Chain A
Amino acid sequence: MVLQLLKDVFGSAQEISPFVFALRSITVGFLLYVEGKVLPHRSGGQFAGYDFAFFWMMGGITAAPLFEAKISYINTVIIVAVIYILHYLISYIAVKNRNFAKIVLGKSVPFISEGKIIRPNMAKAFFPLELLLSDMRSIDAPNLNEIEAAVLETSGHVSVLKKSDFQPVTPKDLNIPTMGGGLPTLLINDGKVVKENLKELGYDDEWLKDQLLKKGMPNLEDVYAVMIDSSGELYYTVKTQE
């Protein structure tokens, strides 16, 4: 009885009841969890065509045991593993070998160069002008006359470089000295001191307490988060009741 049930859930069956399908859904949920943990970062970003194939297929394969009673869970796990290994191998070789990468991932295609649209490239990539304009609007570059260069990336979206007249003014243009910048570091997360980050910057708990005291925060427990930017400026926020 139990054996038959396990066989229905994990193996291939002719016909199964809604209850067994429910059990299958839970096991598929578990598989989803494991996949989510090990999924390569690049696949979700869909940098190139094979990421696209991988990402969409993983979803399809994982849910497959729920499509039909015949499809077995064990086969699903095998195939998920095979596809994962293949994606891993392709990424690995592509990082090592640029020529291989060009073949598998394709190359980015210039669409606009020196302010002129390159029509043959657009046709080769099956890109109507409408689509180019929409993609440019979505990256805040709606005017063709402002564009010096545009490139269709392997991820299928267009990137642009604006002409100098239409680039925002930066502090460098006006010779204004700047401080800070870069990524800020989290020092307290949900009331707990992040020891590694503190150590990396060469500070200790005492220093942090001292700094917070200066800002008028005597109790570490009341602090929700503290961040420090590269110029040494501290930002903190307290826990609120609601």
Chain B
Amino acid sequence: MDWKSFWEGSKDLSAFALALRAVILYIALIIATRMMGHRQVGILSGHNYLVAAGIVSLAAIRMLNPESSLTSGIVIVFVYALVNVFLSYLDIKWPKTIDRKPTILMKGGIFLKENMLDCHVTLDNLLGQLRLKGAHNLSEIDSIVLEHYGKISVIKKPEALPLTRKQMSLPPKTVSLPTILIYDGKIDEKNLQQKGLNREWLMTRLREKGISNLKDVFLAMLEVDGTVYISV
């Protein structure tokens, strides 16, 4: 294979060369996505949207056009990703300059008509979104916020919310995220030590559930009240 035409592109590349170019570009794109961080995957703001559509279709065209240069394709992907990272960085430095502000559509149970007009949201759009959120009765809603990434959040009035433990005067209990103890047959030693537990303790728990072989356990998690969730 002629490496120069592989990297710089030529009219007659073999199907294999084309496939290899696709693999390289895809891997470059995955690395770029990792660089851009989780917020890119969640598409949380305007520039994330545009970058998503841009960077990806750009890579797609480079993959498909045998005459385009692979080298410049990779350069563009990374530089574009860096621009995006830079915008995200500006976003944490000066939040309001990069991104639009969330807009309040309802406050204290009353619609803010000008804001709805500003955002070009019709009443029917809004009612549909509210239904999807399970908020059918407008009288139960305190505020509605249109987030900058286009989703609608609803804050219900306290009397329309489910009863909380505090309201029922139930004693507080400690909460924290559960910890993984066994993952696909392997003990997570670090987590076990952090919780001040040892293998013996864990094996006893397994035997209580009638499991003798560690390999059989797909997932075991320690919940905060001491319950061990085990799934084979």
Q: What residues make up the interface of A, taking CB atoms closer than 8 Å to B? A: 46, 48-53, 56-57, 59-61, 64-65, 67-68, 70-72, 75-76, 78-79, 82-83, 86, 90, 98, 104, 106, 109, 114, 122-123, 125-131, 134-135, 137-138, 140, 142, 148-149, 151-157, 161-169, 173-174
B166 at the interface (CB under 8 A from A): yes
Q: Are A53 and B39 in contact (CB under 8 A)?
A: no
B149 at the interface (CB under 8 A from A): yes
B214 at the interface (CB under 8 A from A): no
Query: What 8 additional pairs, Cβ within 8 angstroms, besides A52-B40, A128-B91, A135-B44?
Result: A49-B40, A52-B41, A78-B15, A82-B19, A131-B44, A164-B165, A169-B164, A169-B170
Task: Give the one of A128, A140, A148, A164 with max B CB within 10 A.
Answer: A128
B111 at the interface (CB under 8 A from A): no
Q: Are A151 and B173 in contact (CB under 8 A)?
A: no
Q: What residues make up the interface of B, taking CB atoms closer than 8 Å to A? A: 15, 18-19, 22-23, 26-27, 29-30, 33-34, 36-45, 52-53, 56-57, 59-61, 63-67, 85, 88-89, 91-92, 95, 99, 102, 145, 147-149, 151-155, 162-168, 170, 172-177, 183-184
Task: Give the one of B42, B53, B173 with max A CB within 10 A.
Answer: B42
Nearest A residue to B143 via CB reads: A142
Q: How many A-B residue pairs have CB under 8 A?
A: 190
Residues of B within 8 A of A126 (CB): 37, 39, 85, 88-89, 91-92
Q: Given A126-B91, A134-B102, A167-B165, A79 and B44 touching (CB < 8 A)? A: no
Q: Out of A76, A125, A165, name the residue touching B39 (CB < 8 Å).
A: A125
Residues of B within 8 A of A83 (CB): 22, 26
Give, as a whole number of angstroms, the nearest-CB distance from A220 to chain B. Answer: 33
Q: How far is the CA of A50 from the CA of B22 in the complex (A)?
A: 15
Q: How far is the CA of A180 from the CA of B45 in the complex (A)?
A: 42
A-B contact pairs, 14 of them (CB 8 A): A49-B30, A50-B30, A53-B33, A70-B65, A125-B37, A125-B38, A126-B37, A126-B85, A131-B99, A156-B42, A156-B43, A163-B172, A165-B164, A168-B165
